Amino acid sequence: MFFDPSHAKKQLSDNDIHLWTINPQAITDPSKLNSLKSILSEKEIEKIQRYRLPKAQHNALITRAFVRTVLSLYIDLKPHDLLFEIAEHGKPELINSPLPLRFNLSHNNNLVICAVCLKHDIGCDIESLSRKISVEAISKRYFAPSEYQSLKDLEASLQTSRFFEYWTLKEAFVKCTGLGISQGLGSFSFEIGNKENRQYNDNIKLNFAADNKQQNNQDYYSCLLYPDSTHCIALCVNCANRSADHKFNLSVFAGDAKLNIFSEINRI
């Protein structure tokens, strides 16, 4: 398994967000990989086997087993016993949990992340800052005019990292709402302020265009995290029903070791 079995079950309160990360390339032992297969469903194994490339199969195995293992830390069910269904826009949901667990996952070749909380819909996204993309063409077509102009106003050396900050924030938001990109990536926009900590930034404002069905930006909390020099992570939480003094506590875990990076982050 991923975790030392001596570790106690994890506890979540209504204002906790837990973010779990793991490097899939660090897991290469054949016996461990075989043990991970044993916690997956037959349908999951079949889907993994449809991937033609061994690396894709490896990453899919780690991702699915990791999510099952993480979620089982919060409830009295074994990883293999968890049951999932896919929502209308492709978001997986846990359907046999005794707790109102909400989760979301994202991954690339070098990092798998799983964000977990109670009651609040949550979305997460991860991007590699070194990935080659056409900043100009994509941002002009898909971003809101204010985001596109903000990118153009930056020095050329800073545009790629800011592009991925916008992109991950947008992906996390559409995954949080469960509506996917059908709502239009340009129908909402983000303003990214200066960060006080090099490892996270929640100085972020969400705005909606007039044609977006959602108009209350106070219903959502967004933040950016920087786990290393090559990745950017965004989280978005629907906190519409929170009380006036509600604030989230964000904790980050890598494998079975808690990273003492984040303490308490006050909400907007």
Same domain flag for 95 and 201: no
Residue 99 lies in a domain: yes
DSSP state letters, 72-84: HTTSSS-GGG--E
Round to whole Å and give the CA distance between 232 and 154.
Answer: 18
pLDDT band for position 3 (cuts 50, 70, 90): low
Residue 127 lies in a domain: yes
Residue 227 lies in a domain: yes
Cβ atoms of 138 and 147 closer than 8 Å: no
Residue 22 lies in a domain: yes
- Average pLDDT of span 15-39: 92
Residue-wise pLDDT tens digits, 86-96: 877 678 899 99
Same domain flag for 230 and 252: no
Judged against a pLDDT cut of 70, whether residue 259 lies above it is answered with: no
pLDDT band for position 267 (cuts 50, 70, 90): very low
pLDDT band for position 141 (cuts 50, 70, 90): very high
What is the three-class DSSP state of 169?
helix
Cβ atoms of 31 and 57 closer than 8 Å: no
pLDDT band for position 8 (cuts 50, 70, 90): low
Q: Check which CATH number belongs to the domain holding 27 and give it.
A: 3.90.470.20
Residue-wise pLDDT tens digits, 218-235: 789 999 999 888 999 999
Structure tokens belonging to residue 257: 């070791």
pLDDT at 264: 36
Same domain flag for 131 and 232: yes
Residues 6+ apart with CB under 8 A from 263: 249
Round to whole Å and give the CA distance between 251 and 236.
Answer: 15
Same domain flag for 80 and 141: no
Same domain flag for 67 and 98: yes
Q: CA dihedral in degrees (188, 194, 196, 197; nearest 10)?
A: 70
Among residues 266, 228, 246, the alpha carbon closest in space to that of 113 is found at 228
Burial (CB count <10 Å: 0-12, 13-18, 19+), residue 224? buried
Structure tokens belonging to residue 267: 């909400």
Round to whole Å and give the CA distance between 136 and 163.
Answer: 9
Same domain flag for 147 and 254: no
Residue 204 lies in a domain: yes
Domain count, the chain: 2
Same domain flag for 144 and 202: yes
Q: Which residue has the higher pLDDT, 163 or 260?
A: 163
Cβ atoms of 265 and 202 closer than 8 Å: yes
Round to whole Å and give the CA distance between 30 and 107.
Answer: 22
Same domain flag for 216 and 133: yes
Structure tokens belonging to residue 125: 């996204």
Q: Average the pLDDT over each of 71-75, 130-134, 152-156, 214-218 and give the range with the smallest value.
A: 214-218
Percent of the chain with pLDDT over 70: 88
Q: Can you give the residue range of the structural domain that contains 53?
A: 14-103+111-117+248-259
Same domain flag for 233 and 255: no
Same domain flag for 203 and 255: no
Residue 27 lies in a domain: yes
Q: Average the pLDDT over each of 6-15, 76-85, 180-189, 259-268 and give the range with the smallest value.
A: 259-268
pLDDT at 182: 67
Residue-wise pLDDT tens digits, 108-138: 989 999 999 999 999 999 999 988 899 999 9
